[in-house]
Amino acid sequence: MRVLKTFSIIFLFTVACNQEKTVNRADDPEVLHRNEKNLTELIIHDIFSPPVASRIYTYTSLAAHEALRHINSSELSIVAKLKNFPEMPQPDQNKKYDFMLAASKAFYTVMFNITFSKDSVKKFEENTYASFKQNLSKEEYENSLAFGEAVGKAVMQRVATDNYKETRGMPKYIGTDEDGKWRPTAPDYLDGTEPYWSMMKSITLDSSGQFDPGPPPPFSKDTASMFYKMNKEVYETGKGLTKEQKDIAYFWDDNPFVSHHSGHMMFNTKKQTPGGHWMGITAIACRKSNADAVKTARAYALVAVGLLDGFISCWATKYQYNYIRPITIINDWIDKNWEPYLQTPPFPEYTSGHSTITGSAATILTALFGENFSFHDDADKEYIGMERDFKSFLQAAQEASVSRLYGGIHYRLSLDTGADVGKKVGNHVLKVAN
């Protein structure tokens, strides 16, 4: 087989070298936006799965907030309210700091240690620090870097104990042929993604099963059963998709690594993760509302925590109930030639990950920016060439959720249940972290 790999982003080295070298100010949120954008590019390049990407966004964003918050004496620590974090370093009152530079150093210290492309991270750092170095005294510059590194290393203490390493190298999950249970799906028949993610230490949840929604409808071959009717709905919806429904499905796909097959040819494309899309929406909201640097850092951190705890909660449900995907049932029972509009991701169906994490992120953003916050979502434009308008974060989350039905990869019940759990996770994050 001839394998042709195509990539949807410019080489990270080029991105790092060609960034604008603007004069940074201690209160300029654009530095934070640029740092997060660098991280998104690297996550795409390194092909991290959506759950793992949420972990990376969380620790980097928390580190940045913990260093930056000292710009404003009234801004409280977030990690002090979270689980299993050490006490954070404090600035020396007798020293001068640029806390935006410190936040960048904290961010990149964590980023360097939990991603793969080390050379790219160093290029991002060099470019970010250059204008600071031009505008700060040597003492303030070095003080800021030292403080940021100390914060980053403190966050890394929590990283080292969150069970991520313990879940690497565990046995692969290949599913089962048991009726109603998940097994690998076409076209690639991949093993289950992150089957042990429920073992991860959550950031705010009491346990990965805190918001367990209970089991889905039981498997049944009865055409009058709820199980059969759910599959029939996916099948009929997929056969009658309108252009608008196809656009919605593709817009919210956010599959980080899609394989395309044509005869003996195969090629792959890279895109943002669903969490990356919502971090991009966070940037849009911050810019539109003219959020200052501290609020921007807080928004990134809280949304990221909502994503990670959302994935931990959802993945616990997925692998507990191990529910079968529509493509398997439809091909076996209804139409052997049917294909979903989107590629089915390699893990159990119930509940919907998109619905859960978008519900969580939208709930947090609504609390931060308001219920009727309209926005133009172009966070995915450079990757898929599409943009859409929304009247609120919750409207966007609802569309993201139903997009998975249009894509042919989820049952409506799993969407609604996931969205409900996501809102509970988001509200819990706000309760704990605020």
DSSP count for the chain of H helices, then E strands: 16, 5
From the CB of residue 156, how many other CB atoms can be counted at a distance below 10 Å? 18
Side chain identity at 124, as an amino acid letter? F
pTM exceeds 0.85 for this model: yes
Given a cut of 80, is residue 234 above it in pLDDT? yes
For CA atoms 339, 341, 346, 352, the dihedral sign is negative
Nearest in space to 154 (alpha carbons), one of 229, 86, 214, 54: 86
Q: Give 351-365 pLDDT, tens digit per residue.
A: 999 999 999 999 999
The pLDDT of residue 258:
60
Q: Give 150-186 pLDDT, tens digit per residue.
A: 999 999 999 999 999 999 989 999 999 999 999 999 9
What does the domain layout of the chain look like in residue ranges? 8-165, 172-433
Mean pLDDT of the residues in the chain: 92
Do the first three CATH levels of 8-165 and 172-433 match, i.e. the same topology?
Answer: yes
What is the token pair recorded at 272? 């943002």
User: Distance between CA 90 and CA 70 in Å, rounded?
Assistant: 9
Q: What is the mean pLDDT of residues 379-385?
A: 94
Nearest in space to 44 (alpha carbons), one of 11, 86, 77: 11
What is the token pair recorded at 125? 């750092």
Q: Which has the higher per-residue pLDDT, 188 or 246? A: 246
Confidence of residue 434 (pLDDT cuts 50, 70, 90): confident
For CA atoms 198, 112, 267, 17, the dihedral sign is positive
What one-character-per-residue DSSP string does 137-158 give? Answer: -HHHHHHHHHHHHHHHHHHHHH
DSSP state of 218: P
User: Distance between CA 390 and CA 403 in Å, rounded?
Assistant: 15
Residue 242 CA to its chain's centroid (Å) = 28
Helix pair 30-46, 274-288: axis angle to 10 deg: 170
Give percent above pLDDT 70 in the chain: 91
Place of tokens 């499905």: 249
Contact 364, 423 (CB under 8 A): no
The pLDDT of residue 97:
97
Q: Give 86-112 pLDDT, tens digit per residue.
A: 999 999 999 999 999 999 999 999 999
For CA atoms 405, 336, 49, 13, the dihedral sign is negative
Place of tokens 């970010």: 128
Fold of 172-433: Vanadium-containing Chloroperoxidase; domain 2 (1.10.606)
Comparing 6-20, 266-280, 385-399, which segment has the lowest mean pLDDT?
A: 6-20
Place of tokens 């250059």: 130
Angle, CA 229 vertex, CA 228 and CA 231 arms, to 5°:
65
User: Distance between CA 319 and CA 351 in Å, rounded?
Assistant: 10
Domain 8-165 has CATH 3.30.465.10: no
Given a cut of 90, is residue 11 above it in pLDDT? no
**Strand order of the sheet with strand 257-262?**
2-5, 265-270, 257-262
DSSP state of 195: T
Contact 197, 312 (CB under 8 A): yes
The pLDDT of residue 24:
57
Contact 231, 334 (CB under 8 A): yes
Given a cut of 80, is residue 22 above it in pLDDT? no
Given a cut of 70, is residue 267 above it in pLDDT? no
Name the phi and psi angles at 72, rounded to 5: -120, 115
Q: Which has the higher per-residue pLDDT, 257 or 430? A: 430
The pLDDT of residue 6:
37
Q: Give 103-157 pLDDT, tens digit per residue.
A: 999 999 999 999 999 999 999 999 999 989 999 999 999 999 999 999 999 999 9
